[in-house]
Amino acid sequence: MIDIMSRKKIFVIICAAAIVIFGAAYRLNQPVTLTIGIFAGNNWDVPQGEPYAIIDEVIKNFEADNPNVHVKYVSGIKKEDYSEWLAEQFISGDEPDVFFLPADDFNLYASTGALMNLDDFIAGDKNFSTDVYYPAAFNFGRQENISYALPCESTLTFMFVNKSLLAKEGIALPKNDWTWQDFLDICRKVTRDTDGDGVPDQFGCYDYSWQHAAESNGMKFFRDDGRTSYFADSRMEETIKFLMELRSVNRGHEVTPKDFDVGCVAFRPFTFAEYRTYKPYPWRIKKYSSFEWDCIKMPAGFSGGNISVMDTLLVGMSSRTEHKALAWALLKKICFDKTTQRLILKKSQALPVRRDVILSVEAQEIFSWEPDETSAMTAADISDAMDESVMPFKFKNYRAAMLFADSEINKILDGTVPLNNALNKLQKEVNARLQY
């Protein structure tokens, strides 16, 4: 009797185990649908012919690797409407499993628990390494030392150079290690009255802001948590004095976009996305065809380097996704996969975030623009600039604090407010605002 009962018990256990195993296998073989949140066009406000070309290729490759998975997205959402659309999806509980994340929204989603903490995925995935990324790109997706998003593509600011104007004045193209003093000297040489009416009509620079100058002077505007500002730093005072000297070169004349567009200005800061868009044919014909131009790193301040801010497009995954492993695999396919990064190199106006892709032979060929044309910026130069770049601030009150600081600093630059003690006062006022 005992043997019969034991055999029955063993038989029941085996059957139960088989049901569990076959049930799990059945669920694994069931079709799964993953959703991606994405906006039309690109993140950099430049023309793009095929807005979904990269993501469609990513989906095709991912579905080929995962035959039981279907990936879909809603097309036609404009960039300016995307934040509202994404918020509505979260409110209704229908948010995408994986979604592109505008920088202004990152803190909100990370701080409210809407974004998945990626640290365990990163640590537990032997096929993933953060070492491939440029630091400023990867760290942009972190908050309080936790990774909530991965970088997809980046852009940073370079200095556009009107080579035709410099050649006309007998001035060599500056090297990538040029300084504020080099910049100022060239601006003085090219700024002059060319038609004899007593008014300057050729200028050194347009649209070069105090933020550009301060960043390249090693200035850090805020503490990382956004509770304290550093506008009274000596590097900020150096920046203001330099800009006053630079502005004096124009003898009170305000340089306009038209001055730049017709080729009468030597320098203008540009994002690399703009450079990639307007350098090659056919967009250069529509934009700047009347003069030859190139780009180089930003001029280094007295206390800084040839540094600019790197803006990065992030992608995160919902903390409520029902398919965590697959969502992580899809996130990697978008942001880590070398094939995808090469697609960004070929088809996007932005820059890949993987160092090995930027330093590839393919990248150097693309950045040469045309077979018979040399560029001041090699792939190695671009890689160096990305390594040296800094992240933009993204704390809650950042934009409001910077709007106020911009208004007050421009008063100093315009001569409305004397520099003496103005930066100390500004720092106190900004710090007070940051406490709200």
Report the number of distinct structural domains present in the chain: 2
Per-residue pLDDT of the chain (436 residues; tens, 9 = 90+): 445 555 554 444 444 444 334 443 334 457 999 999 999 988 998 887 788 999 999 999 999 999 999 999 999 999 999 999 999 999 999 999 999 998 889 989 999 999 999 999 999 999 999 999 999 999 999 999 999 999 999 999 999 999 999 999 999 999 999 999 999 999 999 999 999 888 899 999 999 999 999 999 999 999 988 999 999 999 999 999 999 999 999 988 899 999 998 999 999 999 999 988 887 644 444 566 678 889 999 999 999 999 999 999 999 999 999 999 999 999 999 999 999 999 999 999 899 999 999 999 999 888 876 555 567 789 999 999 999 999 999 888 899 999 999 999 999 999 999 999 999 999 999 999 998 8
Question: Which candidate, 103, 96, 170, places its Cα nearest to that of 143?
Answer: 103
- C-alpha angle with apex 240: 421 to 246, nearest 5 degrees? 145
- DSSP letters of 19-75? HHHHHHHHHHHS-EEEEEE--SS-TTSS--S-TTHHHHHHHHHHHHH-TTEEEEE--
CA distances from 329 to 58, 251, 323, 369 (A): 12, 58, 10, 34
Give the C-alpha separation, 295 to 324, whole Å: 43
> Do 423 and 306 lie in a common domain?
yes
Of 326, 345, 367, the last residue of a domain is: 367
How many Cβ atoms are within 10 Å of 259's Cβ, its own excluded? 18
Supply the angle between the helices 398-413 and 234-248 in degrees, to the nearest 10.
Answer: 50
What's residue 12's pLDDT? 41
Residue 173 DSSP label:
P
> Do 199 and 292 lie in a common domain?
yes
> Do 181 and 81 lie in a common domain?
no
Question: Which candidate, 211, 216, 150, 152, places its Cα nearest to that of 183?
Answer: 216
pTM higher than 0.85: yes
**Residue 382 located in a structural domain:** yes
Q: Which value, to the nearest 10 degrees, does the dihedral of the CA atoms of residues 82, 93, 109, 118 take?
A: -110
Of 367, 390, 415, the last residue of a domain is: 367
**Residue 325 located in a structural domain:** yes
Q: What is the pLDDT of residues 200-251, one digit of tens each?
A: 999 999 999 999 999 999 999 999 889 999 999 999 999 999 999 999 999 8
23, 316 Cβ separation under 8 angstroms: no
> Do 142 and 213 lie in a common domain?
no
> Do 404 and 361 lie in a common domain?
no
Domain assignment of residue 254, given as a range: 156-310+376-434
Could you tell me whether strands 203-205 and 265-271 are parallel, antiparallel, or unpaired per DSSP bridges?
A: parallel
> Do 45 and 108 lie in a common domain?
yes
**Residue 3 located in a structural domain:** no
Give the C-alpha separation, 97 to 326, whole Å: 9
| Segment holding 265, helix H or strand E | strand 265-271
| Segment holding 107, helix H or strand E | helix 103-111
325, 333 Cβ separation under 8 angstroms: no
To the nearest 5 percent, what fractions of the chain are helix, strand and coil? 45, 15, 35
Question: Which candidate, 126, 168, 132, places its Cα nearest to that of 342?
Answer: 132
Residue 192 DSSP label:
B
Of 367, 386, 414, the last residue of a domain is: 367
What's residue 255's pLDDT? 94
Question: Which candidate, 370, 352, 382, places its Cα nearest to that of 158?
Answer: 382
> Do 281 and 231 lie in a common domain?
yes
> Do 256 and 201 lie in a common domain?
yes
> Do 163 and 280 lie in a common domain?
yes
**Residue 1 located in a structural domain:** no
> Do 165 and 243 lie in a common domain?
yes
Tokens standing for 429?
């006022």
Give the C-alpha separation, 33 to 68, whole Å: 9
Q: What is the CATH number of the domain that holds 190?
A: 3.40.190.10
> Do 133 and 196 lie in a common domain?
no
What's residue 17's pLDDT? 41
| Residue 332 Cα to chain centre, angstroms | 18
Give the C-alpha separation, 103 to 168, whole Å: 42
> Do 96 and 224 lie in a common domain?
no
Question: Which candidate, 114, 128, 413, 67, places its Cα nearest to that of 248?
Answer: 413
Tokens standing for 359?
């330093």
